[in-house]
Structure 1
Amino acid sequence: MEKQFMRTTYIRFVKLLFFLIFTSQGISAQRANGIAIEGKVAVQQGSVEGAVIQMYMDRSRLDNYGIGADGSYKVELNYNHKYELIFTRENNFPQKIVVDATVPQSVLQSNPRFPPFPLDINLFTAIPDIDRSFSENTILKIYYSPNVDNFISEIYYNDAQIAKLIEQAILQSKLVDKESDYLSKLTRAEQAELRREYNELLEQAGKEYSNEQFINALDGYKAASRIFPKEQFPKDRIAEINDLLGLMMAAAELDKAMLERFTKLVKEGDQLFTTQQYQLARSSYNRALSIKPTDNYVNGQVKKIAEILQQQVKDKEYKELIAQGDRSMEELLYNDAIAHFQSALKMKPNETYPKRKIEEINGILAQQAQNAEKQKGYQEAMSQGDANFKKQLYDKALTFYESALSFIPKDETATRKIADTQKLIKEIADRLKFDDLVKSADKYFKKNDFQNALKNYTEADLLLSNDKHVTSQIAAINKILQRNENFASLVSDADNQFNNEKYEVAKSLYQKALEIRNNDNHSSERIKEIDAILAEKRVNEKYQEIIALADELYNNMAYNDARGKYKEALSIKLKESYPKEKIAEIDGILKEMAKTGQEYQRTIARADGLFTKKEYEKAKSEFVNAGKIKPDETYPSEMIAKIDSIVAARNNQLAKEAAAAEAARLAAIQAEKDKKYNETIAKADQLFDDKSYEDARSEYRNALAIKPKETYPQQRIDEIGTLMAQLASAQKLYDDAISRGDKEFRRESFELAKAA
């Protein structure tokens, strides 16, 4: 959009220059009551012949505008109306632009003429049997901008983006065909499930649409349309939202928003997929595919979910048939059992279990027919085995099951029950061993022998996993071992910090170590040692702080206050010599100051006497001497200021008289300068109006030399520089165009010469 704006601005600028140079020619190309849109229409294939512009003004249909055989067109639109121009041609996708010809009345009253707005249109070849709703979107908007005082454009879809929309529509069409074939093969239950998902998507998208979450609603309606491609309602909503987004957002902004929405949906789908919420994950992935239909990863995830859900249904039916077959076998209903196993085998031909069961049943039936006595002994042994199994007499039950197997060797049921019983016996043995290991581990734990305790708990966990007591004890031991390791690390770090004299850091580490092992003597002693070091450090810091303040008071000659601070510092460190020396020095200074007081009083008396006699210079000299004797006294400086004021008042009177004479002289000079400046400016303005820009600039510079601070001459000089640069640029464009035309003319390329 920015490039289009710069290009439009540049075209307006060049046309404005030609308007200034060729006034009569420029006026004929402009209208006073409207804006003209002109350009050329091109088609992707074939001739542009037959192309028209369908025109709407304020949503009312106008007559079609015919486009020339060479594709050129020029439409004139009255101000203060809103227009829709739909460029269309048979076998091509249409393109719609919006023109808002509203212009402020103040602009129209001052200058209602604007140069024609250039706009070329490239119509893409229509593809049959695809969704054309994208072609209803507005691709560009033209409107008046007060910032540039001209019409500018805002692009919603450029040619590359339109081509991308066509590619997406083609892919969507292929998906629709596949979806239609897919739907025709579904059962009623599967179609009902899809209808439920379709309705949920519409409901969610409807809420998002009502909340003006248009980008979210768009992928919801698109995902719904993918489920039932022939339903019209989602398509209508998709077209409506696309049009809204085209008006609300620039193309780059929309692309960015759609990419962010796609990323969010994929992430949401991945999270649901990870938690095995496959129905919800499929909904998120389908919404993402409505944005990027060809994304390999998302299509792969949707395919995985379909396979998982289909497999879940298949597995459920298979397991139900197997369970029914097993129950029938347990009830000795072999004909029913074999029917169930055969149905399961049809669902999963490669599964061995139903095959084995069928073979087992067939063997049972054959054996029953061949040897009724063996069957009777088998049944009695199995019955006794089951009875003892129920009584939890597993060793006896195992004996009977093995006896039954002797009647019918390789019998699946007996073999399975033997295996189940042996497994249960092993589990009981494991449980006993588990209990022994846990008992031993508990003893080690109480003795704080954590390594042996952890070893036995771990062995017990391998025998019987997920036992709460064992799991918690393993975690507790690992935590204890980790705390011991952390303790050693903290103490080591603290010792290093202590050795490096980083006492605050070391103290903090020792304190953390004591939180783990509160009876550690090394850490406690080190903290005491650090506290002593820090206490001594604070005393030194306090002493230095008071000495620094005393020195500052001393330097400012506040000797009594300084003497008090030196005494305070001495009370902190009694053996320090420096405060003692400074106190002695101050005592000497105070004694000397007492002697100077008398001399000061005599000097002030002499100064006051001279002042009374109005001998101001001598009086000032004596006050200066008094100030040297006692620099802190304010009276001498006050009297000096008073004397200076009296002398200044007297001198001011003399200066005023001299200034009045000087002002009169300067006024005469200024009047002459103003006259010469005004005459020079008048001459320069006349030369500017006569377009003698070089002479005018010279005179403006003369005026600026007379009055360097005046802004008007410099403004005119800058304006002349800009005008001359613009004229030179326009002249160069003209000369270059003439040069290219002459060159092509010499080559007899008359059309190119004419265009140049």
Structure 2
Amino acid sequence: TEEFALSSNGKYKLKLKLNANYLIRFKKQGYIHKVFSIDSHLPDAQDLNTLFVSDLSVELFPTCSIDLTFFDAPLANISYQASSGEFTYDVAGVQAKISRAERLRNECATVLLAEKKQKEYDNLLAQVKEAKTVEDYGLAVSLLQKASSLFPEKTFPKDELKAINLIQTATKEYLQFLSNGDAKYAQGKLNDALFDYYKAQNLNPKATYPQEKIGEIDAILALKQNEEKAHQKQIHLADSLFSAKDWTKAMANYEKAILLKSSDAYAQNKIIEIKRLAEEENKLNAAYLLVLKKGDQLFESQSFSEARKAYLEASRLKPSEQYPIYKIEDINTIEEQKDINSTNSRYAELIASADQLFKENALNQALTLYQQAANLKPKELYPPDQIAKINQILAEKSSLDKRYQRYLKSADSSFYIESYGYSRQNYLLANETKPAETYPLSQIKKIDALLASLLDKEQNYKTALTRADIAFSDKKFSAAKADYVLALSFKAEEAYPKKRIAEIETILAQLGALEMAYQKAIQEGDKAFGSQNYNLALNSYREALKIKENEAYPKNKIAEIETLLAKSEKNENDYQLAIAQADVFYEKKNYSDALPLYKKAQGIKPKEKYPPDQISRINSFLNGQQSADDAYANALLIADKLFNEKRFQEALSSYQKANQLKPSEKYPPLQIAKIRELLGNSQLEYQAFVKQGDDAFRISVFQDAIVAYENALGIFPTEAYPRMMLDKIDAKIRRESVVSLVSVPEILPAGQEKKFAFKPIDYRDRQNNYLLIEMKNQSAARIRVFVSFGKGELKNGGYSISLMQRDGYTKYFVRIDKNMRWLDEENNWISLLPEGGDLDVKMIHISRDQQSGN
């Protein structure tokens, strides 16, 4: 085996010996080889000194990964051909191999091109990976676009482009939230900045900057909150002492508050006010004692009217003093007793007279007396029952009288124009309506006599025809028809009356259709009226009045409905007034006055649930009054034992229980006062928190009121008043609720916003709205809850709430009506977004503060 290198021009002369066999292989690194077989043997007769020359042109092509074993065999077998006297090959056979070799060359070119594309594609993806590692997303996008152009059918580059686009969008949003947060932070808008930093953190949880800023803001807010709490606590203590008129201690505590917050103008003004009030108090006490002495002297001389004026003046001077109020109540009791005796006597006289008149069927006179009795004693049920009976009887009688008079008027009119047939028919209807009346019967007899006397048929015919034509002209078709029929009874062969009767029947048929429509409208109106659907009834009666404008019945029913609707509105006002008055008595535990008012409200609106519930509670209390005496004695026994053992806090609870059972007893309050004096500063703190709660409740800031009352219970857990006020707030929320959005507790995951949809609230009900959310922090750390509201896809406003981890649910109130876009827009959703931990939501109420609304 020998190897020869070709010259630079690719040519080479190879000398071969005769009478030998050769295999010649053409090869190049990276290219497919080609093999040729040469048989140099000559026939025996051929001269061995002859020189034979043969040209061989060979082209190689790059190798590839397909099966190329075809080229391991010779492409041509060259040998001596006697016919030509030259060394050559089988042209046909070689041409077939060349064709196959060319096909393989083309296949190889296709494979090499695909491998080149794949290599370029793989190289591009490797570069993409490096670009993503260094977050050079612009370069990564360019490389992926090139890779996708190489293989448009491959999805990986497209998926990566989408992923990078999302990353770029999130990065842009992240940077925007950071920019917004930084700007708001610089402006001191810490809550707004906090919202943006939380949003940025959700987009890039690994980033430390948003978390650092959140920590900074939380620290600032916590510091401000702690400083404000300490300051407010000092102010509340000072206010409590101020309310107790302990000027010296109050001034000392206001001065401490100024040390905590030097800019506190309120405390400075209070110190100035204390100095002024201390001087005024001495003058006030002197004036109070003077007018009180005057009142006592007048009371002793039984000059009660003048005594009341003196006690009122004393109470005006010192409203917190109970003595003048007690004396005024004594005077009222004395005068009320006189009034009650007089009222009872007058009421009995009125009822006796009214009952007698009712028996004698003097209904209008009886009605007047029953109304006077009802005005005298509004709580009594008998007069209203009798008034209702009389009104029903009078209404039925009025309806009968109207129908009777209508028939009589028609009959008399027909009689006057000698339309005896129509007149006789209406007199009969009048007689059926009121059989006891003699006039209709006497008229019927007259008509019968008149008709009997008309013997002359021709004259009768003409008379009847004349009356009929007049009635026809006047569009009194029924009367006309009756006279035309009467005319035919005298001259049956006449065509004219028949023609007129046919015309009248056509007209009456048309009028009948209108009558049917009228009657249908009347029936629908009566049906709706009977089911108390007054608005539907009103529409039906108005429709009937369009058909028959002069009919009295629909007019009367429309007037009646308008009266009923006005009365319904009055009933609603009376109901609300009765409930409001009853609630006041109920809260004061004045059950004897509360009970008839709740019954009155129940009588006005029997389907309402609240009045019977309250009546049931009062009855339960009254039924248990006997056992209350035993409970009082037992509570007092326990309280005295605990007091003697110096267990004051426990004794306080028992004395308070006894005081609740019998508020009029003087002993429990005296012991409660002793214990509170012994407890000292705790009592002052308790009073401060109660005052804070009362002040917040009075201006409907329920969040602060709840916190204050709960703080008061933290000092004295057994105190009844703070717990009663908390229950009162709960009851107010339930009573004033407009929309309830959560019925069962629901867990909201951190970082996920949940929208609660509702039907837009009427504009009138959007005024004085407050939002109540009862929720619980599920994590160990403090979380932030963002509360938003809006319409459709548009957010119109929102708030943020910082929520600490604690046992049980916490109630938060938001005066949402302070946001103008809540009032102006038809908002239909509220959303909650917890950040920093999961949130357990128990209740969301939108309520309307009716007291503020009024």
TM over 0.5: no
Q: TM-score, normalised by structure 1?
A: 0.31
Tell me which structure has the larger Cα radius of gyration.
2
TM-score, scaled to structure 2: 0.28
